[in-house]
Structure 1
Amino acid sequence: MRHTGLKLRMLVVGTILFGFYAAIASVAIAAFGTGVWPFVAVGTLGFVAFQYKFGKWMALRSVGAEDLPEDRYPEIHRMVERLSDDMGIDKPTLKVARMGVPNAFATGRRGAGVVVISTELMQVLSRDELEGVIAHELAHIRNRDVVTMVLGQSIAAIVGIAVQWIVMLAGDNDFADLILGWIAGMLAQLLVMVFVLAISRYREYVADADAKEYIGSGDPLARALEKIQSSSQHAGETRLDDSTAALCIFDSEKGILRSILATHPPVEKRIARLRE
């Protein structure tokens, strides 16, 4: 079985996330009776579906992504076609955006994937380095870990909202309860996201390994990561919000809290693995 480690992690984390959801659903049923169960189920499924569609749209809109013209970039389109064919997936839609930093991300699923490349990335990378980055993003689509990330974020949001309302309704509905509910909801969402982040870091290593396999060497992607890191250190304000940055090949945000809740493993470790 290919990528057994990633699949097992997604299974375990998926089970834990379902456990969080089941706990919240049980509290709702206990509070309002079994008659509320259909509304809980339909509402949850609708929320997740909305989050998936809306999240994809927002990620593209947040960076102003536009279609990558095939007549202007035929070499990139041919490269993606070849890599997609090698990986056994449909060619994703290619888009380009100004992100303020050299970066790229994938969203969507097999058969409906989208890869967004920043104009800054195309300016600083050579052809083989760009190929390594694109192979990395295609691997995310093939491995279906993008969908897992989006669903995990959705369940975290559901748990956070539910805990916030439970705390508020359990009190006197005054301003203090509103603040306490907000804090409790944020902490609950953060707790769920810890499990999602465990997959997020591991999936980057897997996508790096896939890119190394399909382009025949890890050095081009390693060089690309070095250039992306160097350019990001000297870049100004970016157009990437937190949810979109989590999908990118490189997250440039720093700080103690961001290190603890990092969506990506240290770039130095990624480069070392690619060059082993």
Structure 2
Amino acid sequence: MAQTRFAPDRGLTSRMVATMFFIGLLYVVVVGVLVVLLKGAWAFVLLFSGALFIGQFWFSDRIAAFSMGAREVTPEQAPELHAAVDRLCALADMPKPRVAVADSDVPNAFATGRNRKNAMVCATTGLLRRLEPEELEGVLAHEMSHVAHRDVAVMTIASFLGVLAGLITRSAIWSGFGRSNRDSNTAVAVLIVTAVSAVVYAISFLLTRLLSRYRELSADRAAALLTGRPSALASALTKVTGQIARIPTRDLRKAEPFNAFFFAPAFSKESAARLLASHPTLEQRLDQLSRISAQLGRP
């Protein structure tokens, strides 16, 4: 597929490859657990696991969009939003994604899609009400850079696959312990595979979070360079972060499970370790944009 005019990021590419390697390793371990616990049914396990993986790849983006209440809109329904996306597509030389709006007062945006041809960019009604045109364009450029770098597909698969793998592992463990009284060898096997699975899952989780933080910085950088207005993106970041703090906690908690997809985290605790955060801190993002402004010679 042809390259876009978004600035390439080899660091992001290498991190995505490493993350998917570990996620794939986790998936293999989960399959191993099922094979151990379901003796004589390995063909079913492999078939089920393969179907699950394909299902995640093809439908997880739609599930995410549906869960976040994204509603596709026409140029007549959202002219300013479509106009901003059109300008960015012309700048980036990339196909226009589907454009959607989510009816939420939480000011945010996200992108989904396996590739550029079936991507969708969504802004919340809260974001559209609060941002100036240049700020909105900066946010949309950030989201479209995720599509251009293909990290939307990687994060979608990694996030959903990790959750499902964890659920399958726990189900397999419970099933195995239920039979352990009759088969001590099975009990030992379950304990060993469970320990390995837990370690791999923990590593994969941390690596996914590390990738998530890096991809946000990468998207900020690519958006600032494409639009040439890092100050507009910095203003949007400051405004969105400040406005999110005023949203009722119950509404933020509803959006929290989708933080990895958002432009800015919907809910985060000051006491939470940075190692577990899905986004870099506001200070890190603003500092990077400030350096880009200095490089471009713009205020």
Q: AA paired with 2:281?
A: P
Structure 1: how far apart are the matches of 2:71 and 2:287?
34
**Corresponding position: 1:195 with 2:210:** no
Q: Is the 8 A contact 1:160 1:188 kept in 2?
A: no
Aligned 8 A contact 2:16 2:211 in 1: yes
Give the distance between the partners of 2:40 and 2:255, measured in 1 at CA: 39
User: Partner residue of 1:246?
Assistant: 260
- Say whether the 8 Å CA contact 2:60–2:160 is kept in structure 1: no
Q: Distance in 1 between matches of 2:256 and 2:60?
A: 12
1:228 aligns with 2:240: yes
Corresponding position of 1:264: 279
Query: Do 2:37 and 2:176's aligned partners in 1 also have CA atoms closer than 8 Å?
Result: no
- Unmatched runs of 5 consecutive residues or more in structure 2: 1-6, 181-186, 292-299
Deviations 1:230-275 (A, max 9, x none): 1111112437534422201000312234754211111121011111
Q: CA deviation at 1:98?
A: 2.0
Q: Is the 8 A contact 2:105 2:127 kept in 1?
A: no
Structure 2 residue 228 is the aligned partner of structure 1 residue 216? yes
Map of 2:122 onto structure 1: 116
Given that 1:107 and 1:114 are in contact with CA atoms closer than 8 Å, whether structure 2 keeps it comes out as yes
Which residue type is aligned with residue 263 of structure 2?
Answer: I
Task: Give the TM-score of the pair, scaled to structure 2.
Answer: 0.79
Which residue number corresponds to residue 149 of structure 1?
155
Note the 1:1-276 alignment, pairs <5 A: 2-30=8-36, 32=38, 36=42, 38-108=43-113, 109-172=115-178, 189=201, 191-236=203-248, 237-238=250-251, 240-255=254-269, 256-257=271-272, 259-276=274-291
Length-normalised TM-score, structure 1: 0.85
1:3-39 Cα deviation digits (max 9, x unpaired)? 1101111111222222222233344445556861x43
- Deviations along 1:189-238, one digit per CA (max 9) or x if unpaired, are 55532221111110001100110011012110000000001111111243
Indicate the percent of aligned positions where both proteins have the same amino acid. 28
Q: Which amino acid aligns with 1:238?
A: D
For residues 161 and 186 of structure 1, the distance between their equivalents in structure 2, rounded to whole angstroms, comes to 12
C-alpha distance in 2 between matches for 1:104 and 1:130: 10
* d(CA) in 2 for partners of 1:101, 1:186: 34
Return the alpha-carbon distance in structure 2 between the equivalents of residues 26 and 58 of structure 1: 27
Which consecutive residues of structure 1, in runs of 5 or more, have no partner in the other structure?
none
The separation in 2 between residues aligned to 1:148 and 1:140, in whole angstroms, is 10
Q: How much does 1:75 deviate? A: 3.6
User: Post-superposition shift, 1:104?
Assistant: 0.5
**Take 1:64 and 1:147, find their aligned partners in 2: how far apart are those partners?**
19
- In structure 2, relative to structure 1, the CA distance for the partners of 1:87 and 1:44 (3 Å cut) is farther
Cα deviations by residue, 1:58-110 (Å, 9 ceiling, x for unpaired): 33333432233312433432321231233232101111122221111111131
Instruction: Provide the alpha-carbon RMSD of the alignment.
Output: 3.0
